[in-house]
Amino acid sequence: MSHRSLAADGLVVGYERGRRVLDGASVSVPAGRRLAILGANGSGKTTLLRCLSGALEPAAGSVAVDDQLLRHSRRGLRAHRQEVQLVLQDPDDQLFSASVAQDVSFGPLNLGLDDDAVRERVAEALRLLAVDGLAARPTHQLSYGERKRVAIAGAVAMRPCVLLLDEPTAGLDPSAVAEALAALTRLEASGTTVVMSTHDVDLALRWADEVAVVVDRRVVQGDPATMLGDDDLLARARLDRPWALTVGARLQEIGLLADGALPRDVAALLAALPDRPGVVT
């Protein structure tokens, strides 16, 4: 499997007449690069992801995988869904079956694979998400974090090129977040491009290669450090500046950090700090 790129251009979406949620929003997910989507509550992050996945047909605009335009016909959607999978925020919206292995088998079966191939895909997906121990467990007995990872496994079993995740870390404890991110890294290694929406600016800064901010019915996309250091954009999007940028900038100001790229997380900051005051390496 090789990385594929996904792009949306000029999306217009309105749920009710008159009011538009997105109006000319464009975003591109370059193959193999991590994209984080940020934005205030109700700005349209989920709406954007639903358009990208084909779940929602925009009133105008287009979505394409590697320049192949998505058509909202039965066949067009079928083809698109083999490339792009969306994992919803609430795992209970995705888990319909009584047992974990059964649930994950749903997608591959619908692809028309034979039973052995399905079983193999299920095993692979559960392994990538590190939930293989849960295969025979009933869905309703799982913890929230476990349900979240099983829901991701259900999408992964479709072997999509692009995996879209709506707030995959919301409601998880710090260790569970770390485990989820590790699972996503394994997925990337197997050729999947990962996109996530999140409210956590610190996470976006340290995880993403690119950031897309949904603001004023459009999307602004760019480098995480630049975008999340732009106070004007942050204010319009009701976001906070990540602490690492603020603290890093100040430390540069007082000459403790070398000029140039700011560290994006604690580890990078500690590594960049000199051992003694006043010595900038």
Partner 1 sequence: MTGLAVDDAAWASAWRHRSPGDKLLLCVGLVVCALVLPAWPGSVLVGAVAVVLALGPARVPAATFGRAVRWPLTFVAVSALTTVVTVDGGLGWAPDAAARAGSLVGHALAGSAAVLLLATTTPMADLLPALRRLRVPAAVVEVASVTYRLLFVLLQSLNTIREAQTARMGYSSVRRSYRSSGVLAAAVLTRSWDRARRMQEGLAGRGLETGLRVLPEVLPSSRLFLACSVLALAGIVSASLAVA
Partner 2 sequence: MHIAEGFLPPLHAVGWTVAAAPFVVHGARAVVKEVREHPENTLLLGAAGAFTFVLSAIKLPSVTGSSSHPTGTGAGAVLFRPPVMALLGTVVLLFQALLLAHGGLTTLGANAFSMAIVGPWAGYGAYRLTRSLGGGLLPGVFVAMLVADLATYVTTALQLALAFPDADSGFAGAAVKFLGVFAVTQIPLAVGEGLLGVLLFRVLTTNARPELERLGLLPPAPAQEEVR
Footprint on this chain of ligand ATP (rule: CB under 6 A): 15, 21, 39, 41-47, 143-144, 173
Among 158, 167, 187, 264, which residue sits at the site for a copy of itself (rule: CB under 8 A)?
A: 167
Question: Using CA atoms, how far apart are residues 174 and 171, in angstroms rounded to an integer?
Answer: 10
Q: For partner 1, which stretch binds (CB under 8 A), given 27-35, 90-98, 126-134, 233-241? A: 90-98
Return the exposure string of 89-119: e unless at least 16 CB atoms fall within 10 Å of the residue's CB, then b: bebeebbeeeebbbbbbbbbbeeeeeeeebe
Residue 17 lies near partner 2 (rule: CB under 8 A): yes
As measured in angstroms, the least distance from the Cβ of 256 to partner 2 is 58
54-60 long-range contacts, Cβ below 8 Å, gap at least 24? 54/80, 54/81, 54/84, 55/86, 56/13, 58/11, 58/12, 58/13, 58/22, 59/12, 59/13, 59/14, 60/10, 60/11, 60/12
Residue 138 lies near partner 1 (rule: CB under 8 A)? yes
CB of residue 17 vs partner 1: minimum separation in angstroms? 6
Tell me which stretch binds Mg ion (CB under 5 A): 21-29, 45-53, 63-71, 169-177: 45-53
Contact mark string toward partner 2, 87..116, x via CB under 8 A: ---------x-x------------------
- Report the partner that residue 136 touches, choosing among partner 1, Mg ion, ligand ATP, none (CB closer than 5 to 8 A by kind): partner 1
> In a 10 Å sphere around its CB, with 0-12 CB exposed, 13-18 middle and 19+ buried, how is residue 133 labelled?
exposed
Q: According to the binding rule CB under 5 A, does residue 46 interact with Mg ion?
A: yes
**Residues binding partner 2 (CB under 8 A):** 17, 96, 98, 140
